[in-house]
Amino acid sequence: MDFPISPELIAPGVRSRQFIAGQAIPFENDARQDSHGPSAVHRWRMARKTVRGTERERGAQ
């Protein structure tokens, strides 16, 4: 039997892969990280950048 996957189920996976490739992986080699991960300031900046990006996508300013 053939059970095709609907576009509604494919879209979240595509968005996740794009986010990981564009946002998460570039931070892996970031010099601002140490053996315990990013500093508190760097975590705050990454979180703020993510919130701003989400707001822009929704059209907020």
Q: Tell me the mean pLDDT per 10 residues along the chain, length 61.
A: 90 91 82 80 80 63 50
pLDDT on residue 17 = 93
The residues facing 34 across adjacent strands are 37
pLDDT on residue 39 = 83
pLDDT on residue 45 = 81
pLDDT on residue 52 = 65
**1 to 6, 21, 25, 30, 53: CA distances (angstroms):** 16, 34, 37, 47, 42
Which pairs from 11-14 meet CB under 8 Å and 24+ separation? Answer: none
pLDDT on residue 53 = 63
Question: If residue 25 lies in a helix (H) or strand (E), which one and from where to where?
Answer: helix 25-28
For the full predicted model, state whether its pTM sits above 0.75.
no
pLDDT on residue 29 = 80
With vertex at residue 11, the alpha carbon angle to CA 24 and CA 59, rounded to the nearest 5 degrees, is 75
